[in-house]
Amino acid sequence: MAIRFEIIKIDPSGARLGRLTTPHGTIDTPAFMPVGTAGTVKAMTQEALEGLNVNLLLANTYHLYLRPGHELIRRMGGLHRFMAWRGAILTDSGGFQVFSLADLRKVNDEGVRFRSHLDGSEHVLTPEKAIEIQRALGSDIGMLLDECTEYPATHERAASATRRTIAWARRSKKEIETTSASEANPEQAFFAIVQGGIHKDLRRESAAELVALDFPGYAIGGLAVGEPHEISCEIARETAACLPAEKPRYVMGVGKPEQLVDYVRCGADMMDCVLPTRNARNGYLYTNEGPLHIKNAEFMDDPRPIDEACACTVCRRYSRAYLCHLFRANEILGAILNTHHNLYFFLDIMKAIREAIAFGNLSRFSSELQARLEAGHP
Ligand SMILES: [Zn+2]
């Protein structure tokens, strides 16, 4: 068994407290995965991630395939060894980046033809190729290639992408079963991705077909692409209800701090988002009283920490004035400290969510958190 998932408690809202065991350790769920695009969570050392108790991170197949190349990483003994990471790794299929970053992409039933955003070289990503690349990387959890749709997408457009994604899942399943497992990680598991845009009938069809193929876990893709948050949650909830209760569910690419608990209440066990890390590098910091822009002049002589209620090592030591100076002087340390705080902030919310499920007070926690975070929004 590649991964094991155990549900400890289910909240009346549908939120699940669980434990995901992978070949590289056990993760308490619901879990937030920091994004390590190119085999690095930008501005964080692996030691610093360990210090934040990160035990699962996401790496992007598209980026690693183009640079340094999956064959090089295979020769280096797989991604864990290459990046000296002892915890678990989930890799995406590369599909989302191909659809959002690559130039001149052409999709047909065979796969996606695209040009690298780095050097313009031409590549073809097929469901089989996505498995081959991720096996070379040796992640603990890989994802099947899917066709992502933009928002808004008509029913016809979403239906075509959904059916193509189902057909690609069948090919992926065959590829997984008829070819050799990852040398770097023989216990690697692959999750299928439910698509269907905001169309509930398509979500149900997509989930039913993928569940019939029996994967060890399922992702809900195509959310947080511009649709209103209420619709996003409704679709997540509806889709989660069509997935097997005993298997992990990963809602891809979400969300803002105040939204994490909403997705958890829709039944999400895993989430990932670039917001804490990307925003940190832009000087956008999350606090319990709403976000702040550290570059603003008001912080130049502010001796307080980023967030007085935050227990992270940055807030215990450094002032807003210093962080404002580092940002304005374009010093590397600014990105490092900002990223550390933002990641701590997201991970701390997830920890509080898990505790609230355990103590049976998630709905009270959720309304208090919402009120607190939204009060400070500009
Ligand atoms: Zn902090």
List pLDDT tens digits, range 360-369. Answer: 999 999 999 9
In contact, 66 and 120? CB cutoff 8 Å:
no
Q: What's the pLDDT score for residue 2?
A: 85
- Quote the ligand 1 centre to 162 CA distance (angstroms): 41
Q: What is the mean pLDDT of residues 18-42?
A: 98
Q: What's the pLDDT score for residue 101?
A: 82
Query: What is the token pair recorded at 243?
Result: 């997935």
pLDDT in tens, 205-242: 999 999 999 999 999 999 999 999 999 999 999 999 99
92 annotated active-site: yes
Q: Which amino acid is at 60?
A: N
pLDDT in tens, 103-122: 778 999 999 999 998 999 99
Q: Taking 70 as the threshold, does the pLDDT of residue 128 lie above it?
A: yes
- CA distances to 4, 80, 106, 176 from 187, in Å: 11, 14, 33, 12
- Quote the ligand 1 centre to 85 CA distance (angstroms): 24
The pocket of ion ligand 1, defined by CB under 5 A, consists of: 310, 312, 314-315, 341
- Quote the ligand 1 centre to 149 CA distance (angstroms): 36
What pTM does this model have? Answer: 0.97
272 annotated active-site: yes
CA dist 248 and 233 (Å) reads 17
Q: What is the mean pLDDT of residues 13-27?
A: 97
Catalytic annotation, pick one of 11, 140, 269, 272: 272
pLDDT in tens, 282-294: 999 999 999 999 9
Catalytic annotation, pick one of 92, 140, 262, 269: 92
- Quote the ligand 1 centre to 58 CA distance (angstroms): 22
Q: Where are the alpha helices (DSSP H) in the chain?
A: 46-51, 61-66, 70-75, 79-82, 95-100, 127-137, 155-178, 200-212, 229-241, 257-265, 275-281, 313-317, 320-328, 332-359, 362-375
- Quote the ligand 1 centre to 15 CA distance (angstroms): 27
Q: What is the mean pLDDT of residues 155-175?
A: 97
Q: What's the pLDDT score for residue 1?
A: 64
Q: Which domains does the chain have, with CATH numbers?
A: 4-273 (3.20.20.105), 280-375 (no CATH)
Q: What's the pLDDT score for residue 100?
A: 84
Share of the chain above pLDDT 70, in %: 99
In contact, 194 and 221? CB cutoff 8 Å:
yes
| Nearest of 305, 304, 285, 310 to residue 295 by alpha carbon | 285
Query: What is the token pair recorded at 41?
Result: 């969570």
- Quote the ligand 1 centre to 196 CA distance (angstroms): 38
Mean pLDDT over the full length of the chain: 96
